[in-house]
Structure 1
């Protein structure tokens, strides 16, 4: 099982981005969370199949219609607390 942390910047808060992310992850049975950061970015941690994580990354680059995604960074990570679902924090 792979885990990645992704940082999404642009107009991504107040536009349903976290809900969009949760939907994309839940459709693929991925676990993790999405949360707003004080600097305007959204932090996304995703766990599961690397192929499915790659699919979510592609969707996050597009975002929902209401968002303007400028950049998505990603890197492998290890969760300190395993999760069994996807949460909006």
Structure 2
């Protein structure tokens, strides 16, 4: 089973609609590592690490988002493992402060 680390940026109506909580729940249910956070430009940014199939399923879930969100675009790219260091100490998946 191959491992993947992907960084995604989601734009659209994705803040103030429970998008981060949705991502947190979905990532934890898939036992993925990583983080999610809002950005001041109105987008949401996330990092997912785990089995490639589970990461792909997580990205597909992000394209849909929660029912109250409207995803306009999702950028997906390979990520450096060092980006996992942004997580809160001791957590597999973290909701980080807005940047």
TM-score bin, normalised by smaller chain: over 0.9
Q: TM-score, normalised by structure 1?
A: 0.94
- Alignment partners' CA distance in 1, 2:78 and 2:4: 8
1:31-63 per-position Cα deviation (integer Å, ceiling 9, x unaligned): 100000011000000011110010011111100
- Alignment partners' CA distance in 1, 2:66 and 2:86: 27
Q: TM-score, normalised by structure 2?
A: 0.85
Q: Which residue of 1 aligns with 2:38?
A: 36
Q: Which runs of no fewer than 5 residues in structure 1 stay unpaired?
A: none
1:57 partner SS: helix
CA RMSD, aligned part only? 1.3
Query: Over alpha carbons, which structure has the higher Rg?
Result: 2
Q: Which runs of no fewer than 5 residues in structure 2 stay unpaired?
A: none
